[in-house]
Structure 1
Amino acid sequence: MIVSRSPVGEIATALAANGLILRGGFNFCDDEAAPAAGSAAPAKSVLLVGQAGAAPWPHFQRWLERQSARIVNPLDTWSCEVIGAVAQEFGARAVSPSDRPYLPFQQWAMRAEGVKPSPLGILMHPQYGLWHAYRGALLFEEEVSLPEAHAANHLCDTCVERPCLKSCPVDAYSGQGFAHEACLDHVRGPRGAPCRSGGCLDRSACPYGAEYRYPADVQAFHMAAFAAL
């Protein structure tokens, strides 16, 4: 059944206290192999949680300053802590993109928001461009009343120049996929300083959602995590 009172508005308010937002959701079909909710029973609904731009960064930084020991994956740890508290408040189970075995977050996102992958593999959002992320999800034991998702305008379809495929010094992105080792070698090497300090050059070359572009220190943080610097 569908719950009589949708908690979506209250959940959005709770997440906003840490700069996070709801990124859509959907109800699983009866024949789907949905992950478990709070009990052993398969979840009936999922709400995705994420960010637009770098809104969570000040909240994360304040949290990080209070930690007494070095944390291996601090942003994941913070996200799990924040989203987990919201899940507990609203009777949901919190899951993360870093959970093993991996959950199909990208497929969930395309279903929840109607977005599609860019040439870089990052999902292109019609408002945020490439400057957004999914930090977790809330799984519910009952169906949640949700608006129907509609296909989003895919900005990559109208982009002729494709600057996102022309800015990387080692052509890490191509029709053959992502050259992971070539990218890592470059970022870690002497010519990779611009990437280390300001983030992926291909990603920054995308003209869409520029007002949501992560500041240089945020991009440097993510690049350091990617390259294990």
Structure 2
Amino acid sequence: MQYLFDEQGVLARARLNLHAVFALEALPADVHDALVGTDAGTSRFRQLILLGHGGKALWRAVTAGGLSTDDPIDSHSRDAASAYLDTSPACADYEFLYPPSDNPVPLIRIGELAGWHHASKFRVGINRDWGSWFAYRALVLADSRFTPVSRPRDTSPCDACEDKPCIKACPAAAVTDGEFLSGRCFDHRLSDGSSCAEACQARLACPVAAEHRYCDDQVRYHYGRSLESLRSYRKRGLV
């Protein structure tokens, strides 16, 4: 017997509104091996579950109780996923691969398989429904019997964008019609008085699903954290 994933909307009410479920045996070999490899302890798992969110609602849910942990979004997402899987008759056992965020899992590749992710010119995933305003929140190996879920792979919304406002909006000229020039981006973000310290101007200029753009507080939160990481990497000579 198979079960519909989140049929009662438990995770949706926790504002984890993007779901994908894959049979492990059906995954491409590169993804399967990156997640499971030869670890005999993972042989009990049947499925891979990817959870995400799109839009502004998750931030409101997380901040309603205050930002009380080091990573409140990860804590909220993990707690909500655990509560659902612990009580679902479809799931006998599970193991988180993400979060923690330092696990080397191929989230972007899995997002592509789920039909969520296309590469944008400003190096953030994008799709027609949510623009670039979505994110991966949990990746779980599960001994479960959910009906597989993904969305059909479509074309990138960038392909139909003629004006390319993201290119014009980038003050570092890092966003181009070809490759993304990461060195220019990093140098500008780390410069004094940078207009991209707390937000990506190219991303803000993108018109795709702009109605789902994160609020200013959420944008500052995410980019503030990424700026801290970038400063640490620069000190260590990694970028």
**1:23, distance to aligned residue in structure 2 (A):** 3.0
Q: Give the whole-Å Cα distance in 1 for the aligned partners of 2:66 and 2:81.
A: 16
Q: Sequence identity of aligned pairs in percent?
A: 23
Q: Give the whole-Å Cα distance in 1 for the aligned partners of 2:48 and 2:192.
A: 44
Alignment correspondent of 2:20: 24
Alignment correspondent of 2:66: 64
Q: Does the 8 Å CA contact 2:78/2:99 hold for their aligned counterparts?
A: no
Q: Does 1:5 align with 2:11?
A: no
Q: Does the 8 Å CA contact 2:116/2:126 hold for their aligned counterparts?
A: no
Alignment correspondent of 2:237: none
Q: Give the whole-Å Cα distance in 1 for the aligned partners of 2:134 and 2:162.
A: 23
Cα 1:144–1:16 shift into 2, 3 Å = closer
Cα 1:169–1:212 shift into 2, 3 Å = same
Query: SS where residue 177 of structure 1 aligns?
Result: coil
Q: Deviations over 1:85-136 (max 9, x none)?
A: 3333333333315444411111111111264211222222111111111111
Q: Deviations over 1:10-34 (max 9, x none)?
A: 3x61212321113323222266424
Alignment correspondent of 2:196: 195
**1:173, distance to aligned residue in structure 2 (A):** 3.0
Q: Does the 8 Å CA contact 2:97/2:103 hold for their aligned counterparts?
A: no
Alignment correspondent of 1:220: 220
Q: Give the whole-Å Cα distance in 1 for the aligned partners of 2:44 and 2:122.
A: 33
Q: Give the whole-Å Cα distance in 2 for the aligned partners of 1:19 and 1:110.
A: 21
Q: Give the whole-Å Cα distance in 1 for the aligned partners of 2:155 and 2:181.
A: 25
Q: Does 1:179 align with 2:177?
A: no
**1:74, distance to aligned residue in structure 2 (A):** 3.4
Cα 1:148–1:20 shift into 2, 3 Å = closer
Q: Does the 8 Å CA contact 2:53/2:136 hold for their aligned counterparts?
A: yes
Q: What is the TM-score normalised by the length of structure 2?
A: 0.77
Q: Does the 8 Å CA contact 1:97/1:135 hold for their aligned counterparts?
A: yes
Q: Give the whole-Å Cα distance in 2 for the aligned partners of 1:149 and 1:78.
A: 25
Q: Deviations over 1:125-171 (max 9, x none)?
A: 11111111111123222453225642123211111222222211112
Structure 2: unaligned runs, 5 residues or longer? 232-239
**1:80, distance to aligned residue in structure 2 (A):** 2.6
Q: Give the whole-Å Cα distance in 2 for the aligned partners of 1:146 and 1:196.
A: 40
Q: Give the whole-Å Cα distance in 1 for the aligned partners of 2:217 and 2:116.
A: 30
The equivalences for 1:53-92 within 5 A come to 53-65=55-67, 67=68, 71-90=69-88, 91=91, 92=94
Q: Give the whole-Å Cα distance in 2 for the aligned partners of 1:13 and 1:81.
A: 16
The equivalences for 1:39-54 within 5 A come to 40-41=42-43, 43-54=45-56
Equivalent position amino acid for 2:25 in 1:
C
Count of aligned pairs between the two proteins: 217
The equivalences for 1:120-199 within 5 A come to 120-147=122-149, 149-174=151-176, 175-180=178-183, 182-192=184-194, 194-196=195-197, 199=199
Alignment correspondent of 1:14: 10
Q: Give the whole-Å Cα distance in 1 for the aligned partners of 2:116 and 2:71.
A: 29
Equivalent position amino acid for 1:75 in 2:
I
Structure 1: unaligned runs, 5 residues or longer? none
Q: Give the whole-Å Cα distance in 2 for the aligned partners of 1:149 and 1:17.
A: 20
**1:61, distance to aligned residue in structure 2 (A):** 0.9
Q: Does 1:204 align with 2:207?
A: no
Equivalent position amino acid for 2:49 in 1:
L
Q: What is the TM-score normalised by the length of structure 1?
A: 0.80
Q: Give the whole-Å Cα distance in 2 for the aligned partners of 1:186 and 1:58.
A: 30
Q: Give the whole-Å Cα distance in 2 for the aligned partners of 1:41 and 1:227.
A: 39
